[in-house]
DNA sequence: GTGAAAGCGCTAACAT
DNA sequence: ATGTTAGCGCTTTCAC
């Protein structure tokens, strides 16, 4: 491994000079010809800076910790990580990815990452929800991906800093999907939503509960429409305080609110019986079967593509052809299903890659204390909002951080990919 | 951040003494009482070693590079990485995960990882296949995960070292799955196999091609049965030389061979028409539909759970109940589908977590030049073979590496999870 | 403009 | 048995 010392010896200068030149700080300090000589020699000798030595000296590692909850079971985590990695690499950073499913592991992993000297953190979850950021991360630059921070009023960490986050615009997902179905002529539009498995029977399939849930979310429509995450501070979220387990309440409430708002805007009165919040497997399939038999919807908006599968199964069972007899729009959480059904299923794509990319740019700009150009982002399907975040001063005090604007929570628009699962003018 | 210097000052000894004690090298060098004092002070001051400084000094970073091809699109990569990470953490290592889909990116990522000073590499692919390890990795400890190395005879890098690898026992997957169906009483057992999308029509659905393919694989049965990967050195693999793209030939050939062998062992003569190698989406669905109509199998062994979906869809369409009218066994490549279908679909689980875990133990043992205990592996469903690999000497020469035994390719047994999709005694 | 020197936090060889 | 010293490769004053 070539070192600066060797280059210095070869050229006949000091290592200081080599360092200046190779770091581009030679402007007006080193004669151009000499600088050129140094650069050429470095090239010839195949020199690469030793990242570790540099880190020791500068106290910057150019490494970023990517903490995610439940990567192992999350098929789309890869896209997010890939996006973050691509952006990171482009700016000379490397990712240390780590997964933590419980508080103890989380603490250990954070400690480990700190000891390895990461410059900042990503904090990401398996499904969009409100999270508490561990206090031990308070002193570091951090960006939340596919989640947002629980406020103190919601029972969150009140001591904690406010961190920027990026998440899908859940309300708009529901709104766009439902609008697409309405455009196609559907009038009895079902929502196959999310319910935790242990109460998949309860919620939407029993009439009383359905109405209650419908009402609760109904009240949230106005707020959600303004881009706020109000209405998600519900009992469930609070009950799950401190837990790292899956809890897609934000996604569920947001998409449902969008669904209801779209119906309302088009003068369609939603029937609570159209809502079918299900868990997985047999019970879910049975619930969807009942929906087919009792409600006979002509359109289906599915919380995710995994749930769309139940609709496909039941359609087959009932001899209905999707894209002719009924229409289906799903949210593409799971790339696997895209592999199997993509040419058929109209989906709203969750821009995991883009969120990861954006988050990395944001994080690096925080770490380096300068704005980053978003221009070089490759193949970004979703528009990136401007980066903004108060910068730490030299003492490491992020003086203005605690007063950071709420707008740090960026909601990213997700595009609808039209496929044959939606009939031009559906009707049963 | 507390440093050794501060501890040394507080205790009144030199940093050298502190270093010895804190690294457990004080046995017979430092008085027990003093050592205890040092340890207590370190604890009180909240000391944690600075990994970067240590790395600079020791030339070991305790970081491992995890190179994977196409993580972003691979839902199960998470499990593998999780396994590797858990094992790594347990031994004080950290993972730098990186994904590369083309040769240029691969080169860049490898360079970057080297500069960050990783001690060794994982090399993993999206689906079990024969790979060439980039020559630039020849000087590092490396373990291949869910893949194996192409030999020179197969057209591989002849200059390269032989690296240990871990992969599923594909032959046995096919054998076990098919045996399970035979046990249940199935006699017309279809194989829904893998075909690249662009020729999903060609191979198994046209009679001539089917026979040819069947024959080719047939010849490989004997070899595969012995645990060798022979028969996989086929035209496809060679044609894909140097490409990083998906090419599940090993998995496809292995599972098919196992399927054929199981049938043969039970005296069932396989009909080439039973083989239905498909790609994805509409064409795949149509091919499976034809199979249902023309062949009417009573059992289905599916290359993966994604392909099992087509069977579920067609069963629904034909009013057949899975687990009563027909039986299905799939390979659980995609955890997402397990979420949706697991209580129904009998699967052979690919032990991604275990492979990652094993690979990490193997890699760390290579890095540290000592055997690692496998005893502490948590929840390993598959038995781990003993770790073995020649150790580099002090000069960094891995003298014996080039003569490493072929047994370094470890095939891991995958367990079958019985679910209701297989009828106790099926028959149509 | 350039070089000498100090030092980031740690470990290991070499004194005592 | 304990301490002293040198130095990993780099950056960064500060002299010249």
- DSSP lists the bridge partners of residue A347 as A330, A417
Residues B323 and B212 occupy one common structural domain: yes
Residues B228 and B280 occupy one common structural domain: yes
Structure confidence at residue B393 (pLDDT): 37
Residue B421 located in a structural domain: no
What's the CA A30/C1' D8 distance, rounded, in angstroms? 27
Residues A179 and A298 occupy one common structural domain: yes
CA distances from A216 to A147, A196, A222, A230, B161 (A): 22, 18, 12, 11, 64
Residues A164 and A174 occupy one common structural domain: no
User: What is the C-alpha to C-alpha distance for residues B135 and B138, in angstroms, rounded to an integer?
Assistant: 5
Residue A422 located in a structural domain: no
CA distance from start to end of chain B: 72
pLDDT digits (tens, 9 = 90+) for B393-428: 333 433 333 223 334 788 888 889 888 889 765 444
Average pLDDT over residues A1-26: 91
pLDDT digits (tens, 9 = 90+) for A143-173: 999 988 887 777 777 666 789 999 999 999 9
Q: Which of A300, A331, A351 is the last residue of a domain?
A: A351
Which residue in B42, B60, B78 has the most chain A C-beta atoms within 10 A of its own C-beta, making it the best mutation to test that interface?
A: B78
Within B 30-89, residues with CB less than 7 Å from strand D: 30-31, 34, 56-57
pLDDT digits (tens, 9 = 90+) for B229-275: 333 333 333 333 334 444 568 899 999 999 999 999 999 999 999 99
What's the CA A63/C1' C5 distance, rounded, in angstroms? 30
What's the CA B14/C1' C15 distance, rounded, in angstroms? 14
Structure confidence at residue B101 (pLDDT): 85
Which positions in strand C are less than 7 Å from the protein's CB atoms? 1-5, 7-13
Of residues B272, B297, B262, B274, the one with CA closest to residue B186:
B297
Residues A162 and A293 occupy one common structural domain: no
Residues B157 and B177 occupy one common structural domain: no
Q: Point out the residue among B51, B94, B306 whose CB comes nearest to the CB of A340.
A: B306
B142 contacts B163 by C-beta, under 8 angstroms = yes
Structure confidence at residue A238 (pLDDT): 30
Residues A143 and A197 occupy one common structural domain: no
pLDDT exceeds 50 at position B207: no
- CATH number (domain holding residue B289): 3.40.50.2300
Q: Which of B330, B351, B372 is the last residue of a domain?
A: B351
Residues from chain B that touch A109, judged by Cβ atoms under 8 A, are 89
Q: Give the three-state DSSP class for A137.
A: helix
Q: Point out the residue among A72, A113, A339 whose CB comes nearest to the CB of B78.
A: A72
Structure confidence at residue A181 (pLDDT): 97
Overall size of chain B counted in residues: 428
Residue A423 located in a structural domain: no
Cβ of A51 < 7 Å from strand D?
A: no
Residue B426 located in a structural domain: no
Residues B201 and B188 occupy one common structural domain: yes
Instruction: Please state, rounded to an integer, the average pLDDT across all residues of chain B.
Output: 79
Spacing of C-alpha A397 from chain mean position = 28
Residue A79 banded pLDDT, cuts 50, 70, 90: confident
Is B94 an 8 Å CB contact of chain A?
Answer: yes
Residues A392 and A245 occupy one common structural domain: no
Structure confidence at residue B415 (pLDDT): 87
What's the CA A195/C1' D16 distance, rounded, in angstroms? 75
Residues from chain B that touch A116, judged by Cβ atoms under 8 A, are 51-52, 63, 94
CA distances from B306 to A90, A126, A187, A287, B322 (A): 35, 21, 32, 23, 16
Residues B264 and B212 occupy one common structural domain: yes
**Residue A364: its H or E element:** helix A352-368
Cβ neighbours, 10 Å, residue B86: 19
DSSP B387: P
Residues B105 and B220 occupy one common structural domain: no
Residue B376 banded pLDDT, cuts 50, 70, 90: low
- DSSP lists the bridge partners of residue A302 as A192, A330
**Residue A89: its H or E element:** helix A77-90
Q: Which of B319, B335, B351 is the last residue of a domain?
A: B351
pLDDT exceeds 90 at position B119: yes
Residue A180 located in a structural domain: yes
Residues B248 and B338 occupy one common structural domain: yes
When comparing pLDDT for A351 and A191, which is higher?
A191
> Cα-atom radius of gyration of chain B, to the nearest Å?
25
DSSP B391: P
Q: Is there a contact between B282 and A312 if contact means CB atoms under 8 Å apart?
A: no
Residue A179 located in a structural domain: yes
Is B341 an 8 Å CB contact of chain A?
Answer: yes
Look up the domain containing B130 and give its range.
Answer: 60-168+352-412
Spacing of C-alpha A52 from chain mean position = 31
Query: What domain count does chain A have?
Result: 3
Residue A187 located in a structural domain: yes
Residue B299 located in a structural domain: yes
Nearest chain A residue to B108, by CA? A89
B239 contacts B196 by C-beta, under 8 angstroms = no
Q: What percent of chain B has pLDDT over 90?
A: 43
Spacing of C-alpha B209 from chain mean position = 30
């Amino acid at each position: 491994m070539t070192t600066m010392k060797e280059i210095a010896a070869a050229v006949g200068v000091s290592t200081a000079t080599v360092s200046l030149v190779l770091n581009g700080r030679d402007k007006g300090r080193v004669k151009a010809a000499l600088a050129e000589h140094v650069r050429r020699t470095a090239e010839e000798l195949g020199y690469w800076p030793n990242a570790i030595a540099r880190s020791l000296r500068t106290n910057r590692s150019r490494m970023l910790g990517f903490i995610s909850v439940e990567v192992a079971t999350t098929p789309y985590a890869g896209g997010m990580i890939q996006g973050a990695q691509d952006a990171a690499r482009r700016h000379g950073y490397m990712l240390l990815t780590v997964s933590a499913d419980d508080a103890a592991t989380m603490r250990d992993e954070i400690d480990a990452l700190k000891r390895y000297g990461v410059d900042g953190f990503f904090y990401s979850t398996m499904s969009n929800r409100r999270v508490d950021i561990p206090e031990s991360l308070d002193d570091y630059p951090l960006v939340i991906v596919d989640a947002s921070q629980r406020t103190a009023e919601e029972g969150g960490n009140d001591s904690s800093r406010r961190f920027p986050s990026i998440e899908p615009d859940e309300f708009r997902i529901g709104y766009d999907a439902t609008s697409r179905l309405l455009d196609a002529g559907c009038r009895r539009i079902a929502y196959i939503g999310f319910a935790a498995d242990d109460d998949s029977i309860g919620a939407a399939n029993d009439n009383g509960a359905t109405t209650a849930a419908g009402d609760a979310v109904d009240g949230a429509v106005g707020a959600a429409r303004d881009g706020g995450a109000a209405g998600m501070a519900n009992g469930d979220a609070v009950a799950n305080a401190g837990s790292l387990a899956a809890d897609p309440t934000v996604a569920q409430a947001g998409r449902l609110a969008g669904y209801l708002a779209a119906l309302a805007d088009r003068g369609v009165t939603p029937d609570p019986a159209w809502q079918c919040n299900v868990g997985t497997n047999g019970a879910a399939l049975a619930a969807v079967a009942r929906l087919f038999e009792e409600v006979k919807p002509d359109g289906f908006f599915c919380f995710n593509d995994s749930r769309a599968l139940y609709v496909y199964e039941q359609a087959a069972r009932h001899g209905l052809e999707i894209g002719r007899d009924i229409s289906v729009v799903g949210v593409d959480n799971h790339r696997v299903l895209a592999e199997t059904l993509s040419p058929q299923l109209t989906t709203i794509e969750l821009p995991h890659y883009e969120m990861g990319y954006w988050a990395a740019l944001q994080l690096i700009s925080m770490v380096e204390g300068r704005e980053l150009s978003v221009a070089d982002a490759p193949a970004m399907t979703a528009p990136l909002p401007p980066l903004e975040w108060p910068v730490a001063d030299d003492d490491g005090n992020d003086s203005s951080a605690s007063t950071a604007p709420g707008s740090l929570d960026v909601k990213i628009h997700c595009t609808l990919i039209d496929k044959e699962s939606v009939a031009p003018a559906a009707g049963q």
